[in-house]
Structure 1
Amino acid sequence: MIIRKLRLQRGWSQDQLSQISGLSTRTIQRIERGQKPSLESLQSLAAAFETSVAELQQEPTMHKETHEHIHITEDEKIAIDQVRAIKGFYSHLFTYIAVISFLAILNYLQSPNNLWVIWPAFGWGIGVASHGINAFELFNPFGAEWEKKQVEKKLGRKL
């Protein structure tokens, strides 16, 4: 997570960081997803970011401290979570399109007079739509505001 934040602060793509650090793009992707890097990888990244290996090994905190450029604030964590949710939706959508397309071709080749493919497309499509609504926060009746109201209600406080 620290690696991603430092990379984004400098406006570098993963490919650019790969070229600067001498690591493969795949290694950088793995590290940014949470895989523990080797000492050699950490040394290469520390040199690229002009920092120490110890700084890169620190766990990010959810508040600002003296080394603000490395720590993750609550707002940043929320934004990262939202971006991951949207990325997950697009991955789900792509999988849906690929699988349903394959099933449609299979349906056409095997039994063109019986369109059974509409049933999995419809059922899975509801799941994809629900995922999109949640990822883009288009409709969330049980979101943070609802939770806050319920907690206040349980504690007997007026809003």
Structure 2
Amino acid sequence: MELNKPNNSEFEQYQIAKKQVEELKGFYSHLASFVLVNGILILINFRYSPNHIFFFWTFGSWGIGLLFHAIRVFNWIPFFGQNWEERKIQQYIKEENSKTNTYE
């Protein structure tokens, strides 16, 4: 009796897709906490000290972090994406192999 096992490429594709879903889930959690915390800070700020706007500091700095998280998750700048990492790994492997082949 033979069990139906996915081959390596299907398993690798599944692992890559699973990782992408986990990263997307992490981003949405980050976004939800950003909205919740900053919403509370805005309410506190306008309720207790409307003359001094302090929530901009948290909103701005956390917003920059959220932007970078979105850039990474949604691959808006593909230079540092997964494909770039894989290409660089292959390049280094190729360079290392050419170094060892020249000394033989």
Same fold (TM over 0.5): yes
The answer to whether structure 1 residue 68 and structure 2 residue 10 are counterparts is no
Alignment length (residue pairs): 92
Judging by fraction of residues, say which structure has more helix: 2
Aligned to 1:55: none
Aligned to 2:72: 134
Which structure 1 residue ranges, 4+ long, deviate > 4 Å from structure 2?
none
The answer to whether structure 1 residue 98 and structure 2 residue 29 are counterparts is no
Q: TM-score, structure 1 length as denominator? A: 0.50
Task: Give, in whole Å, the separation in 1 of the partners of 2:91 and 2:78.
Answer: 14
SS at structure 2 position matched to 1:73: helix
Alpha-carbon RMSD across the aligned residues, in angstroms, is 2.6
Task: Give, in whole Å, the separation in 1 of the partners of 2:49 and 2:24.
Answer: 36
Aligned to 1:19: none
Aligned to 2:88: 146
Task: Give, in whole Å, the separation in 1 of the partners of 2:90 and 2:33.
Answer: 36
Uncovered stretches (5+) of structure 2, i.e. residues with no partner: 99-104
Matches within 5 A, 1:40-55: none
Task: Give, in whole Å, the separation in 2 of the partners of 1:97 and 1:80.
Answer: 26
Task: Give, in whole Å, the separation in 1 of the partners of 2:76 and 2:87.
Answer: 14
Change (3 A) 1:103 1:74: same
Uncovered stretches (5+) of structure 1, i.e. residues with no partner: 1-64
Task: Give, in whole Å, the separation in 2 of the partners of 1:99 and 1:114.
Answer: 18
Identity fraction in percent = 31
Shift of 1:140: 4.2
Cα deviation code 1:102-139 (max 9, x no counterpart):
00001101111111100110000111111111111222
Cα deviation code 1:65-86 (max 9, x no counterpart):
94236x9700100001001101
Task: Give, in whole Å, the separation in 1 of the partners of 2:53 and 2:20.
Answer: 37
Q: TM-score, structure 2 length as denominator? A: 0.74
**Larger RCO (CA within 8 A; separation ≥ 6):** 2
Shift of 1:156: 6.5
